[in-house]
Amino acid sequence: MPNAVANAPILQKTLNTFLLIPSRFPPIRLYERIAGDFHDAVTDLEALTNPRLRQKEQIIDASGLDDKSPSLQNWNHAPFAYFNPEGSWFFPPQTPCLEVSADIQTALAVSVAKRTRFLSQTDQDKLNLDMRVLSRRVSGRFLDARGPAMSVDQVKRWALGEEILAHDVDGVIFSSPERPIGDRYAVLNGDCLERAIQGDHYRYVWDGKEIKELYSFAKGDVIDPKDLQSEDLILPAA
């Protein structure tokens, strides 16, 4: 498998990418439900030990970056400041990265699969889960790992990740089982990211066992989650 990485092309890519995050619609402040009138005081207290804010201050002090830099925007910075205990497709938890998709349909397929696993593991009863699209342009040098890494287990993929880190790249292009026809990107360098922009809202309808349907607030369409995995485009390109 290391030869697969050694022989993989490195591509210069600039494109718009997508992922989905949980949404409060309409939005509420972070500690509104538990802090009441003391929300601002609780927020200030939490900020004293918040690792993302501490890291942001260190980056600004060391680099002279403006705090409005795209790489320091919360949605761009947080994936590199907090470890994902599950790791990612190619990397264990100690290697932070941001995984995004090259089209909305693939992003939705990945999101539905992840939310299904989480809701199943927590024995969640019926609910409607609102999600919103984040898009941002990405520009950098990416190792093309589509194809060979699809058929290997996590241990072997993470071994490939070690080989990838030895290359001078900003991330990896890959495919995943949720929609193999769609490209995904594991971004290792936050400087590759432009500012994230909020997009459409979707409602995931969970029946206690699976996500039965998705509702698009923008278009009023109802989507069968199984159709997202198709090679055919059921959603217009953004």
pLDDT values of the chain reduced to their tens digit, one per residue, 238 residues: 456 687 889 999 999 999 999 987 556 655 566 656 665 665 556 655 666 556 555 554 555 665 667 877 888 888 888 888 899 999 999 999 999 999 999 999 999 999 999 999 988 999 999 999 999 999 999 999 997 666 678 999 999 999 999 999 999 999 988 999 999 999 999 999 999 999 999 999 999 999 999 999 988 899 999 999 998 888 766 5
pTM above 0.75, yes or no: yes
Helices (H) and strands (E) in the chain, counts: 7, 8
Note whether 184 and 100 are within 8 A (CB): yes
**Residue indicated by tokens 């349909």:** 105
